[in-house]
Amino acid sequence: MKTVHQQVDSMSELLALLGQGGVLRGYAFCGLEFPTEAAECRFERCLFFGCTLSPFHYLAMGAECYVLPSLPKPYHTFRSSLYAPEELYDSYDPATPESFEECYDTRVYRHYISTGKECDSIGETFARAMHDNSISVALHDMLSRYPEDGVVAVMGGHSLARTDAMYRTVALVAKRLTERGKLLCTGGGPGAMEATHLGAWLAGREDSVVDEALAVLATAPTYKDSGWLAAAWEVRERWPRGEEWASVGIPTWFYGHEPATPFASHVAKYFDNSIREDGLLAIAKGGVIYSPGSAGTMQEIFQDAAQNHYATFGPSAPMVFLGSDYWTHEMPVYPLLTDLVTRGKYNALRLSIANEVDEVVAHLL
């Protein structure tokens, strides 16, 4: 008999269930500390992920109950929600730059490097896999609040400077789309990715506020510059995000030397880069915008093209190339793809190219 487990990840939900008494069947409990009275119930076909349990709770477990405790790691093995920037940068103080070294994100990255990107410890690889699975569950829970074509991804170079005209263009595109109800997603790092989340962060305000924010960020144009994070924190404090606007960054500790953008409202950070890369393109059923980038962006273009060609995740999503000169001359991918479509080598690709903010928005809407 197949059991579809209903996830319970808050104490209020747990206490409400316990108040019903009797047999609780088919639940997945995540990261909860079970009170004493839980032992008065009976559990069947339940999963317990990273929960705090006493011997009495084990006695209350009946058929097909499974317990996976949290492992002692500097990261949370089982999570019930996505990260927030405040959690990743929990110890950061803009007035003390060296405090970055004590942040949760930095601590986890140090552990990741010390145990090895290609780790041979089964305990560590198991813990990473459980962490990434819980992130995927939390991510898809958030995506379920949006229509399938409501998720748009932006790809582009991590080295794009805050002072570059393209950075402003990407920010304004993201701002417009967020205001039209789209959920913007990126790889969650600096450059074009950060520009996307900045635009979503400032949604609902006048465009002039974007220029004011860019003036603050210009003091540290790239993530390699001293003051990069402090400038972002100043923007966050001067222009707090409206609760109705959201965006999702999907970074990875595989590229942990690049800091996660502090402008994403939600962060789905993974250990496994392959899950992150394929998954980001898979969820972007509302389209993908390609701003100028190099090898990583090129990889994403052809990976996206393959997904659309084979309809791997449903109907083909729009592929919008931002920057006609770049994509037709410097990196002539656009004419190559259009030629391949014309000759029947690719099917169902929905290609367009644009330079202006309104053009990009029109192609996607």
Q: Looking at 2-84, which runs of residues are DSSP E strands?
A: 6-8, 23-25, 27-30, 42-44, 47-49, 66-68
How far CA 107 is from CA of 74, 104, 179, 279, in Å, comes to 7, 5, 35, 25
Partners of 252 in beta bridges: 270
For 248-277, give one letter per residue: b (16+ CB within 10 A) or e.
bbbbbbbbbebbbbbbbbbbbbbbbeebbb
Confidence of residue 1 (pLDDT cuts 50, 70, 90): low
Give the pLDDT mean for 44-69.
94
Q: How does DSSP classify residue 222? A: S
Query: Is the C-alpha dihedral spanning 332, 334, 339, 344 positive or negative?
Result: positive
Confidence of residue 348 (pLDDT cuts 50, 70, 90): very high
| Cβ proximity of 69 and 49 under 8 Å | no
Q: Looking at the chain, which runs of residues are DSSP E strands?
A: 6-8, 23-25, 27-30, 42-44, 47-49, 66-68, 151-155, 183-186, 247-249, 266-267, 288-290, 318-322, 350-354
**pLDDT over 90 for what percent of the chain?**
94
pTM: 0.93
Kindly give, in sequence order, each residue whose CB lies less than 8 Å from that of residue 7, ignoring residues fewer than 6 positions away: 27, 28, 30, 80, 137
Confidence of residue 246 (pLDDT cuts 50, 70, 90): very high
Query: Is the C-alpha dihedral spanning 196, 200, 202, 204 positive or negative?
Result: positive
| Cβ proximity of 231 and 262 under 8 Å | no
Give the pLDDT mean for 12-17.
95
- Which residue in 251, 249, 140 sits closest to 185, CA to CA? 249
Kindly give, in sequence order, each residue whose CB lies less than 8 Å from that of residue 225, ignoring residues fewer than 6 positions away: none
Give the pLDDT mean for 73-96.
94
| Cβ proximity of 249 and 193 under 8 Å | yes
Q: What are the backbone dihedrals phi and psi of residue 255, each rounded to the nearest 5 degrees, phi first?
A: -115, 45
Confidence of residue 63 (pLDDT cuts 50, 70, 90): confident
Give the pLDDT mean for 153-167.
97
Tokens of 358: 């309104």
The one-letter code for the residue type at 147 is P
Give the pLDDT mean for 300-327.
96
The one-letter code for the residue type at 109 is Y
Partners of 24 in beta bridges: 43
pLDDT, one tens digit per residue, over 110-147 is 999 999 999 999 999 999 999 999 999 999 999 999 99
- Average pLDDT in the chain: 95
H-state helical runs in 144-227: 165-179, 192-201, 207-217
Confidence of residue 80 (pLDDT cuts 50, 70, 90): confident
How far CA 336 is from CA of 136, 257, 340, 350, in Å, comes to 34, 33, 6, 14
Q: SS3 of 22, please? A: coil
- Which residue in 239, 21, 31 sits closest to 131, CA to CA? 31
Confidence of residue 2 (pLDDT cuts 50, 70, 90): low
| Lowest-pLDDT range of 2-16, 82-96, 203-217, 304-318 | 2-16
In this model, does residue 199 exceed pLDDT 70? yes
More confident residue, 203 or 9: 203
